[in-house]
Amino acid sequence: MLAYVVRRLLLMIPTFLGILVINFAVMRLQGFTLAEQMKVESGKGSEGVASERKVQGASKNVENYIDRFRRAGNDLPALINTRGFWTKADVVSTLQVAAPAHGVRSNSGSRAEKQLWLAGHFAVEPLYQVLADDALKELHPAAATAFALCAYASVDPGNVRELSSVELNRIQSLNETLRNNRFDSIADPAYAAKRKVLMSVYEDPLNRTAFAHSKGKAWKALFVETGFTDLMVKLFTGRLYSETHKEYAFTLIGERWYISFGLNFLSIIIAWGISIPLGIRSARRVGTLEDRATTNSLFLLWSLPSFFVGTLLLHHLCTDTSHGAALFPNRGLSSDDSMWYSTPAYLLDLLWHATLPLIVLCYGSFTSLSRYMRGNLLDQLNADYTRTARAKGASEDAVIYGHAVKNSMLTMITLGAGLLSELFGGFVIVESIFSIQGLGTLLLDAARQQDAPLIMASTVISVGLLLVGILVADLLYAVVDPRIRSKYG
């Protein structure tokens, strides 16, 4: 038995990591840019389309652009960071691709330039070599800009508190120097002087340690300084920070989990409490008109998508008309003034608010659960031991509840594996239709705003719970099924 448990536990680790990698890869492929400060006008009502706002001269300051990527950890390559091995030749070829050939530049040039700018301290040394090389004069303006941006030190609220004011002043004056010494062409009268200033930034022994290449650093960066490692470190130290909510992701989840938990708990109780007796009843009356009628109507229900039913209910049962007030409330889980109700009144109010969301949450699972139960029970009713039980004269109830149901519940354990993660997962659609502030709405907002840390945090929680649920189900199986137990001794 112990071997079984250990084996299950060990298998969880690669599964968990695999899920994380896939998650991360999907988000990267989607091009999630995390910390965008873009002003998003939802434009509801006044305008049918989300529109950008004009920010005068916003793009004058390229450092802001770099900052946005760095703050989100999006400047780092996804899985493998080879920037530490860049040589002067690599940088020169990138600069040549990025240079506008004639007139307007192509998209690939623009992308190459962006890659170079985001390389950060890795590219400083090779860029310095380009700047120092008189033969590459025509590349100097682009190299100077790239140099200034790669050497630019982001000062963001996250790391700023740990810096002393002396250090901060040094960084700020360095940034100022870099900003003022970029040049657009070699025809710039201050070209020579500016180039010299930029080169001196690298030559300064204070900066040298941060910018100079070394084999050890490059190898270390290969796997350590990547977007994935960055995210994992933040994940396991609980520092996943949601830029859109300006709050740690786990704190946000902690504030809301109990709402989804409560709703899901009730809906699972209702779904199982109704489906299982329904399944038993159907199995006992198999083939009758009643059985066929329930099966058909359940499949009809099942084929109605919940967003459709939810919206219908909202518009027809929750909306006041000219004839009078609505039957059910349209938002939230309690009335505005429920704070002052007595406990029974409060509970009634809660129930009144929760009725429609619970209906929408439950009705879909009736079908699958009750049909599973019906099928399992039918299998058991046709089994030899049932015949034996009947033959020895046990009453029909004793046969069904004493033997058959017990055994058919065994297979239902598999279905129960997902319950644990279901309890904590939000129901996105129901929560947003009925304006319930649970995990579902949080996740929906996060997906809309491409808030990767928040999405990652909630996926990790539900994946973890799913794995735990599967483990528990497996263990329960071993407990109730002697065949599995005996296999592992």
Q: By CB under 8 A, what part of segment 413-432 binds other proteins?
A: 432
Q: Should residue 205 be labelled a site residue for other proteins when binding is judged by CB under 8 A?
A: no
List 17, 18, 26, 43, residue binding other proteins (CB under 8 A): 43
Which amino acid type is present at position 381?
L
Identify which of 317, 314, 313 has the alpha carbon closest to the alpha carbon of residue 326. Answer: 317
Contacts of 55 (CB under 8 A, 6+ apart): 39
- Of residues 404 and 466, the one with the C-beta less far from other proteins: 404
C-alpha 113/C-alpha 100 separation (Å) is 11
Smallest distance, other proteins to C-beta of residue 368, A: 21
Provide the mask over 272-291, with x wherever binding to other proteins is found by CB under 8 A and - wherever it is not. -x------------------
Q: Should residue 28 be labelled a site residue for other proteins when binding is judged by CB under 8 A?
A: no
Of 449-488, binders to other proteins (CB under 8 A) are 449-450
Identify which of 426, 417, 437 has the alpha carbon closest to the alpha carbon of residue 459. Answer: 426
C-alpha 329/C-alpha 356 separation (Å) is 9
Smallest distance, other proteins to C-beta of residue 10, A: 34
C-alpha 133/C-alpha 126 separation (Å) is 11
Smallest distance, other proteins to C-beta of residue 193, A: 21
Identify which of 271, 488, 449 has the alpha carbon closest to the alpha carbon of residue 368. Answer: 271
Q: Should residue 102 be labelled a site residue for other proteins when binding is judged by CB under 8 A?
A: no
Of 395-414, binders to other proteins (CB under 8 A) are 401-402
Smallest distance, other proteins to C-beta of residue 90, A: 20
Of 353-392, binders to other proteins (CB under 8 A) are none
Q: Residue 248 forms beta bridges with which residues?
A: 241
Token reading at 304: 């109605």
- Of residues 17 and 26, the one with the C-beta less far from other proteins: 26
Smallest distance, other proteins to C-beta of residue 49, A: 5
DSSP string computed for 414-477: HHHTTHHHHHHS--HHHHHHTT--SHHHHHHHHHHTT-HHHHHHHHHHHHHHHHHHHHHHHHHH
How many amino acids of this chain bind other proteins (CB under 8 A)? 94
Smallest distance, other proteins to C-beta of residue 335, A: 11
Q: Which backbone phi and psi does 223 adopt, to 5 degrees?
A: -115, -20
C-alpha 170/C-alpha 174 separation (Å) is 6
Smallest distance, other proteins to C-beta of residue 244, A: 6
Q: Should residue 448 be labelled a site residue for other proteins when binding is judged by CB under 8 A?
A: yes
C-alpha 63/C-alpha 149 separation (Å) is 7
- Region near other proteins per CB under 8 A, out of 76-84, 107-115, 194-202, 412-420: 107-115
Of 165-204, binders to other proteins (CB under 8 A) are 165, 168-169, 172, 175-176
Of 315-354, binders to other proteins (CB under 8 A) are 315, 318-320, 322, 325-326, 330-332, 339-340, 343, 346-347, 350
Please give the torsion angle defined by the CA atoms of residues 107, 112, 118 and 123, in that order, rounded to the nearest 10 degrees.
-160
List 8, 105, 217, 285, residue binding other proteins (CB under 8 A): 105
- Of residues 238 and 402, the one with the C-beta less far from other proteins: 402
